[in-house]
């Protein structure tokens, strides 16, 4: 069983993450983790903070000579911006007078945060609710990703839309139609997306989106969007139908919804399937080259809460960033009078980054389900268990049902 915990404030010294439960002897390098942290920082439409930070993870424990020890892995990501906040974010006595934030931003955790935690400065709520925390999730997700790679499982994503601008090409339809070659791997999809400034797969769409972001920047507004996360190379049967909390689909929805600003998740054709006939919604079972497979993958690789062996496909919706430069109504808590909401440095669009965070969270739940099924204290043991199950699967199935 793997688990992780993150700690850290947006403008504190940095972010810490502790992960536990990975088998020993998994090869991993700091540079690998950092390459994914850099991907999270990309994307046209980010704010000033990304110019200050070059996120890198320092390994504090759990890894020796580029291999996991089986002990808790702890990572530290320094906040370069901390230097500008040493007085404002001091853990000791405040130095002199400091200005409290009294106007909550609609759409952010500000108002509910100060109400719930009995705080007298909105800064105390902003710091932990900030999406800065997702850097720690990408760092820890990259360990899960490295683990999955050892089994030929790859995770990738692309941005489907920003501000309602979609491609005329239906890339997701291609995924659902299972028209991809067996060698298709989700990482190549991610690399294709990484080559775009907004992580889309269509040049014309990219141009339109950049034009819209430029416009939005000018008027001080923000945009949201949708992205598709894909995992390939999965074995049949991760997750289970036994209990509500063992279904992999539920775990996927949980981790995706846990990402800041995410408001919707679909697996496979999702909400569209609700409008279609059953005969046009399910994936017919066929024999192909002596193997059981499906004609389509509308289920998005999950049936009964378990992996079918086809790519897992998840669509996620991110709402527009809640910090606006343009006016939006709020109440100043120091006077309880109407005001126009406060300005604060932020991103204009963070959908490309959100997609990378989505990859990290999907990697995490898949690695968790994988280790729940195959276990193992060392990579050798996990690999033996995996091989034993996967090589005998088809044979076992046909001998069980032979007349």
For residue 306, the minimal CB distance to ligand EPS (Å) is: 33
Name which of 135 and 223 has its Cβ closer to ligand EPS.
135
Check residue 37 for interaction with ligand EPS (CB under 6 A). Answer: no
- Using CA atoms, how far apart are residues 391 and 385, in angstroms rounded to an integer? 10
Check residue 47 for interaction with ligand EPS (CB under 6 A). Answer: yes
- Using CA atoms, how far apart are residues 356 and 6, in angstroms rounded to an integer? 18
| Sign, CA torsion 262/263/264/265 | positive
For residue 34, the minimal CB distance to ligand EPS (Å) is: 15
Residues in 70-89 that interact with ligand EPS by CB under 6 A? 81
For residue 352, the minimal CB distance to ligand EPS (Å) is: 11
Check residue 122 for interaction with ligand EPS (CB under 6 A). Answer: no
For residue 344, the minimal CB distance to ligand EPS (Å) is: 7
For the chain, the residue count is: 403
Check residue 131 for interaction with ligand EPS (CB under 6 A). Answer: yes
Check residue 49 for interaction with ligand EPS (CB under 6 A). Answer: yes
The DSSP element (H or E) to which 293 belongs, if any, is strand 291-294
- Using CA atoms, how far apart are residues 146 and 73, in angstroms rounded to an integer? 14
For residue 186, the minimal CB distance to ligand EPS (Å) is: 23
Stretch of residues binding ligand EPS (CB under 6 A), selected from 63-71, 127-135, 167-175, 295-303: 127-135
In a 13 Å sphere around the CA of 201, the CA atoms on its Cβ side amount to 19
116 Cβ contact partners less than 8 Å away, ≥ 6 residues apart? none
Name which of 269 and 323 has its Cβ closer to ligand EPS.
323
- Using CA atoms, how far apart are residues 279 and 302, in angstroms rounded to an integer? 17
Check residue 12 for interaction with ligand EPS (CB under 6 A). Answer: no
Q: Which of 9, 185, 347, 359 binds ligand EPS (CB under 6 A)?
A: 347
* Proportion of the chain in helix, strand, coil states, percent, rounded to 5: 35, 20, 40
Q: Which of 345, 387, 392, 396 binds ligand EPS (CB under 6 A)?
A: 345
For residue 51, the minimal CB distance to ligand EPS (Å) is: 10
For residue 107, the minimal CB distance to ligand EPS (Å) is: 9
Number of residues that bind ligand EPS (CB under 6 A): 16
Name which of 22 and 348 has its Cβ closer to ligand EPS.
348
Query: 256, 221, 223, 166: which is closest to 43 by C-alpha?
Result: 223
Q: Are 321 and 350 in contact (CB under 8 A)?
A: yes
Check residue 132 for interaction with ligand EPS (CB under 6 A). Answer: yes
Pairing of strands 165-166, 67-68: unpaired
For residue 326, the minimal CB distance to ligand EPS (Å) is: 16
Stretch of residues binding ligand EPS (CB under 6 A), selected from 21-29, 126-134, 223-231, 242-250: 126-134
For residue 79, the minimal CB distance to ligand EPS (Å) is: 9
3-state secondary structure of 102: coil
Query: 70, 58, 72, 63: which is closest to 16 by C-alpha?
Result: 58
Q: Which of 161, 226, 346, 363 binds ligand EPS (CB under 6 A)?
A: 346
What would the x/- binding string for ligand EPS be over residues 283 to 322, using CB under 6 A? --------------------------------------xx
- Using CA atoms, how far apart are residues 208 and 6, in angstroms rounded to an integer? 37
Q: Which of 68, 125, 130, 232 binds ligand EPS (CB under 6 A)?
A: 130
Q: Are 45 and 223 in contact (CB under 8 A)?
A: yes
- Using CA atoms, how far apart are residues 4 and 17, in angstroms rounded to an integer? 7
Stretch of residues binding ligand EPS (CB under 6 A), selected from 166-174, 185-193, 345-353, 384-392: 345-353
Name which of 248 and 318 has its Cβ closer to ligand EPS.
318
Complete edge-to-edge strand list for the sheet that includes strand 262-267? 165-166, 154-162, 225-232, 312-318, 262-267
For residue 305, the minimal CB distance to ligand EPS (Å) is: 32
In a 13 Å sphere around the CA of 224, the CA atoms on its Cβ side amount to 15
Query: 313, 303, 19, 41: which is closest to 155 by C-alpha?
Result: 313
Name which of 132 and 373 has its Cβ closer to ligand EPS.
132
User: Which positions lie near ligand EPS, rule CB under 6 A?
Assistant: 10, 47, 49, 81, 130-132, 134-135, 321-323, 345-347, 350
């Amino acid at each position: 069983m793997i688990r992780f915990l993150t700690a850290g404030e947006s403008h504190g010294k940095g972010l810490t993450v502790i992960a536990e439960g990975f088998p020993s002897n998994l090869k991993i390098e700091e540079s690998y983790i950092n390459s994914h942290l850099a991907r999270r920082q990309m994307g046209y439409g980010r704010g000033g903070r990304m110019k200050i930070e070059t996120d890198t993870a320092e390994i504090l424990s759990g890894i020796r000579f580029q291999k996991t020890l089986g002990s808790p892995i702890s990572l530290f990501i320094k906040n370069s911006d901390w230097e500008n906040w040493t007085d404002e974010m001091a853990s000791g006595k405040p130095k002199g007078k400091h200005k409290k934030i009294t106007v909550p931003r609609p759409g952010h955790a500000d108002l509910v945060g100060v109400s719930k935690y009995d705080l007298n400065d909105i800064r105390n709520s902003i710091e932990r609710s900030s999406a800065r925390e997702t850097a720690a999730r990408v760092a820890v997700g990259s360990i899960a990703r490295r683990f999955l790679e050892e089994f030929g499982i790859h995770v990738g994503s692309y941005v489907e839309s920003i501000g309602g601008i979609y491609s005329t090409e239906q890339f997701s339809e291609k995924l659902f139609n299972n028209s991809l070659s067996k060698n298709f791997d989700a990482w190549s999809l991610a690399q294709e997306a990484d080559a775009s400034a907004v992580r889309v797969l269509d040049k014309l769409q990219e141009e339109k989106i950049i034009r819209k972001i430029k416009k939005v920047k000018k008027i001080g507004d923000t945009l949201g969007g949708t992205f598709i996360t894909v995992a390939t190379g999965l074995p049949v049967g991760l997750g289970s139908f036994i209990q509500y909390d063992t279904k992999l689909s539920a775990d996927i929805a949980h981790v995706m919804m846990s990402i800041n600003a995410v408001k919707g998740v679909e697996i496979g054709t999702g909400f569209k399937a609700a409008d279609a006939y059953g005969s046009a919604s399910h994936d017919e079972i066929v024999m192909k080259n002596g193997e059981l497979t499906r004609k389509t993958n509308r289920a998005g690789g999950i049936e009964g809460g378990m992996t079918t062996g086809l790519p897992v496909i998840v669509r996620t919706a991110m709402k527009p960033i809640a910090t606006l430069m343009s006016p939006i109504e709020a109440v100043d808590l120091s006077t309880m009078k109407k005001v126009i909401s406060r300005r604060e440095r932020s991103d204009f669009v963070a959908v490309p980054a959100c997609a990378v965070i989505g990859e990290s969270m999907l990697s995490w739940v898949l690695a968790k389900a994988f280790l729940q099924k195959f276990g193992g204290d060392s990579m050798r043991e996990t690999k033996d268990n995996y091989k034993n199950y996967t090589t005998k699967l088809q044979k076992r199935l046909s001998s069980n049902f032979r007349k």
